[in-house]
Amino acid sequence: MKMRKRILSVLLTTAMLGTCVMGCSSGSDDSGEKSESGKRFEGVTLRFAPNWGTDPDHEIGRKMLKEFCDETGLNIELEEIAGDEMKNKISVDAAADNLPDVWQYWPGCVCKDLADAGLLADCSEYLEKSEVIAKDHFSDTVLAPCTFDGELLVLPRMGASGVLMINTEIFKKYELEAPKTWDDLMEVSKVLRENGVTPLNVGSKLGNPSHFFYNELVCQFEEGVQDVNNLLDSSKTTFKTDAMEYAANKIEEMVKAGCFADDVLGSTGDWAPSCAYYDEGYAAMCYTFSWQFASFSDETLEKSEIIKIPQIAETDRADNHMQGTTNDCWCISKKAWEDTEKQEAITALVDFLMWDYTKETAQGGYIITVDSELDKLIDYEALDSKLMSDVLQWRTDNNIEADPMIWQSLPNLAIQTDYCNALDELWAGTITGAEFIEKCETSVKDNL
């Protein structure tokens, strides 16, 4: 008994001493280091998961982030994920209660489940705290997909712009004109096919880049635009509309006519492969988005010409519209934000991402900023990416408006996944347009 008491007291003393020593040492550490290096976030570690692969703006990001960390003393655990794999990672992390502190994601339905589960920090708190970024930098349209039940839960990162280009060399060789209407497009495709050239580079791997292309068709009708806007409201979500059905049947027709590559999943599925396919001269036309602009070689761009989306005969809209909205966003984990030790550092990191990093990459012509203040600082005459300047110029000249995006407007991630899978099948020619609509509709029913 005595022995036990003694042990206990020894243990207690040790514990107390330990706490004292630790307290002292951590205190002295802090002050010591601060006075020594003057770095703001010495000892703070943040987990940061950007959607980075091999694009030039990702390279810039890595370099700038490193400088930022050196300067502030912040320790970043970098979890780089490329492409749509990010959705899987974040879904698993959310279920495992292991979300990164800050990550790059897509607004709208991709964030919906996280927002519902209350895992995202209220970003208006960040905007209040930030001295660099303010809410009035962004227009309402930009903020719309970032807002859930009236609360701003994610921060818009960049805008996007689509482009349709033709390879003039191939067109000249077969004495073809750039297609203005959908019927022209089919005609052109037929000739190209006969000569063994793939008409259009759009493939489909988990809906990339096909979902944008399908979307272009849906939005050739006023009604279609309305349909897309309706998707967000889960009581109105449906794929059984005239515009959606029309577009699905049209795609079926195109697949049958051989407008897309034979290998829609292997060699033209996903962004980079589909662009490489055009770049290597396998496809005569290229439909892609701003994040791919830097991947084309100069020779290819030299012989490329930007054209408008061909118009279907039945369209009831003018031809000055195209896909391109707030494309992705930054998320802050609620748990991390509520951690007072981290809050300062997160604010600084997000400031850096939304201002310094965005500015650098926007000036490079790799992304399109949605921040109106930043926009004023960008010298659009001097972008590094020539294609980006051309596209932006072309958009202004033709007064192009941005259409709403189906992919982003669906009510949740499960439906989005099914939608993308169904697109893959539609592109691969395994299901008809009607079956495509049926599949999406079933998913809507099952997942709402």
Cβ closest to another protein, residue 43 vs residue 281: 281
Residue 388 neighbours by CB under 8 Å, 6+ apart: 290, 293, 294, 365, 366, 368
Size of the site for another protein (CB under 8 A): 60
> Of these, 374, 431, 437, 444, which contacts another protein (CB under 8 A)?
431
- Region 365-424 residues binding another protein, contact defined as CB under 8 A: 413-414, 417-418, 421-422, 424
The vertex-431 CA angle with 228 and 213, nearest 5°, equals 40
**Shortest Cβ 94–another protein spacing (Å):** 7
* In 232-290, beta strands by DSSP E: 283-289
Cβ closest to another protein, residue 89 vs residue 308: 89
Cβ closest to another protein, residue 50 vs residue 324: 50
> Of these, 107, 162, 209, 269, which contacts another protein (CB under 8 A)?
269
- What is the amino acid identity at position 229? N
Q: Which long-range contacts (CB under 8 A, 24 or more apart) does 83-92 make?
A: 83/51, 83/53, 83/270, 83/271, 84/206, 84/208, 86/49, 86/51, 87/413, 89/49, 90/49, 90/114, 91/413
Task: Kindly indicate which of the ranges 148-156, 215-223, 373-381, 426-434 contains the residues binding another protein, using the contact rule CB under 8 A.
Answer: 426-434
Task: Kindly indicate which of the ranges 21-29, 265-273, 315-323, 362-370 contains the residues binding another protein, using the contact rule CB under 8 A.
Answer: 265-273
Cβ closest to another protein, residue 145 vs residue 203: 203
Cβ closest to another protein, residue 145 vs residue 273: 273
- DSSP type of residue 264: T
> Of these, 261, 350, 354, 388, which contacts another protein (CB under 8 A)?
261
**Shortest Cβ 414–another protein spacing (Å):** 4
- Region 189-248 residues binding another protein, contact defined as CB under 8 A: 203-206
Token pair for residue 244?
């959606």
> Of these, 282, 319, 386, 389, which contacts another protein (CB under 8 A)?
282
Contact between 314 and 188 under an 8 Å Cβ cutoff? The reply is no
Residue 56 neighbours by CB under 8 Å, 6+ apart: 294, 364, 366
- 3-class secondary structure, 136: helix
301 binds another protein (CB under 8 A): no
Where do we find the tokens 């495509």? 436
Question: Which residue(s) pair with 260 in the sheet?
Answer: 200
Site string for another protein, 72-91 (x = CB under 8 A): -----xxxxxxx-x-xxx-x
Helix (H) or strand (E) holding 269: none
> Of these, 189, 201, 267, 363, which contacts another protein (CB under 8 A)?
267
* In 38-169, beta strands by DSSP E: 45-49, 75-78, 102-105, 147-148, 151-152, 154-158, 162-167
- Region 91-110 residues binding another protein, contact defined as CB under 8 A: 91-98
Cβ closest to another protein, residue 198 vs residue 325: 198
54 binds another protein (CB under 8 A): yes
Q: Which residues bind another protein (CB under 8 A)?
A: 47, 53-54, 77-83, 85, 87-89, 91-98, 113, 117, 203-206, 261-267, 269-270, 272-273, 275-277, 280, 282, 295, 413-414, 417-418, 421-422, 424-425, 427-431, 446-447
